[in-house]
Structure 1
């Protein structure tokens, strides 16, 4: 009887020891697997958060193409300029006294016709802006893209001003001239200045309307591009692809 009790105790001790060893081995194994998985996850996460130079270039180009396309489309639509107070083209500065005087004489419709026609000409010209901007984006170097990503909030807009202004002037000028005639802006403006210049003791007004509208149209485009750039940089919802999220998320961290 005593021998049986002793044997039972030894068996129980052996089982407990084996269980403990098994649990230790399982615990060690779990730690190894968990540790390995954690390392893999961390590496993957790090890779996801740090874009390559090539990804930065692709992301910037993707973002800017989306932005300038949206901006150019808005401005080239009817009332794109006329209905947008930020870019609406008003009378040339030297003609604003003319406008005030003629409105005071009840010639409001003449003044309104001039302003409407100036903006219609700019809307016509804006249709040609998109391919010029897209071409500038395609020619952008990886260094340009990195500088834009990590630069000031207007870095992309300044890049476009530097590389597209001359092309925009060349492209817009004949379009604006044709459009001014098409929408009777030249006639309206001539009527307006003629009415004013007939008044006694006034200094005659002579404006190169085509140059004025061309410059204002280009200024309006850059205002719209700047707004799109701020949207991409500051509005997480505007980062519509995983690449944009990765690239601009990286830029956010670098600027903190």
Structure 2
């Protein structure tokens, strides 16, 4: 009799577990992670969309483009440029543009999140790094985000920052000095600045989103969502 009861208990436990697993569908996991990503976007914009959000944070600060950094290592070129353009102002303008454009990121990135289809929700749910949802969004939507986010970034790069000149104007002046230098090894295309800043600004957004995703995973009940708590709270599988 004891053996029968023990078997029934085991069977009962098994079916209870099956019922719980069935209640957690791939659709629910996907919806939960879309909520997590939305929380991440809001957090990233709150942090980055203020003065020094980028410029004052070494983790996400946007440096001059690599080609500019390289040519400025030459003392002669650096002196020629300094007579025309303050490159520190260019770097500041780049970061201020990213900060000012951050508000537009909310709608753009959340739009991409809404369209996201999680083809393997289990790997995201059980991932070891804690940033799998953000990494998935980046892999699936980065090109789309580059195109959409480029518009507000370039708008900010065209805003006046110094004596009637914009960041784009200053960078064009820098490129003009270098390109006119008779011993330069190639040319600098100033019109690529917008794409560079857009990419780096998005990289910064994703860094902050990953940080928030890890926080949500660590304490799912603190974020006011019953779905997130249920999916990430433990004890339920996919």
Give CA deviations for 1:160-216 in whole Å, capped at 9, x if unaligned: 113321221221223222221214111221233344455563335413212211222
- 1:82-101 paired onto structure 2 within 5 Å: 82-100=55-73, 101=75
2:170 is aligned with 1:193:
no
Partners of 1:143 and 1:197 in 2: CA distance: 48
Is 2:159 aligned against 1:159? no
State the SS of the aligned residue for 1:226: helix
Match of 2:206 in 1: 222
Instruction: Name stretches of at least 5 consecutive residues in structure 1 with no aligned partner.
Output: 1-41
C-alpha separation in 2, matches of 1:120 and 1:128:
14
Deviates more, 1:121-130 or 1:50-59: 50-59
| Number of aligned residues | 211
* d(CA) in 2 for partners of 1:64, 1:248: 14
Structure 1 Cα separation of the partners of residues 145 and 34 of structure 2: 20
In 2, Cα distance between equivalents of 1:165 and 1:250: 31
Q: TM-score, normalised by structure 2?
A: 0.71
Question: For residues 52 and 209 of structure 1, do their structure 2 counterparts lie closer, same or farther at Cα, with a shift above 3 Å needed?
Answer: same
Q: 1:98 to 1:64 in 2, by over 3 A?
A: same
Indicate the structure (1 or 2) with the bigger Cα radius of gyration. Answer: 1
Q: Secondary structure at the match of 2:86?
A: helix
Structure 2 contact 40–210 (Cα < 8 Å) conserved: no
Distance 1:96 1:150, change over 3 A: same
* Offset of residue 104 of structure 1: 6.5
Give the C-alpha shift of residue 115 in structure 1: 0.1
Give the structure-1-normalised TM-score. 0.66
Tell me if structure 2 keeps the 8 A contact 1:103–1:111: no
Q: Which runs of 5+ in 2 are unaligned?
A: 1-12, 161-165
Aligned: 1:139 with 2:115: yes
Q: Which residue of structure 2 aligns with residue 76 of structure 1? A: 49
How far residue 107 of structure 1 moved from its aligned partner, in angstroms, is 3.7
Cα–Cα, structure 1 residues 212 and 142, in superposed 2: closer, same or farther, change >3 Å?
A: closer
C-alpha RMSD over aligned residues: 3.6
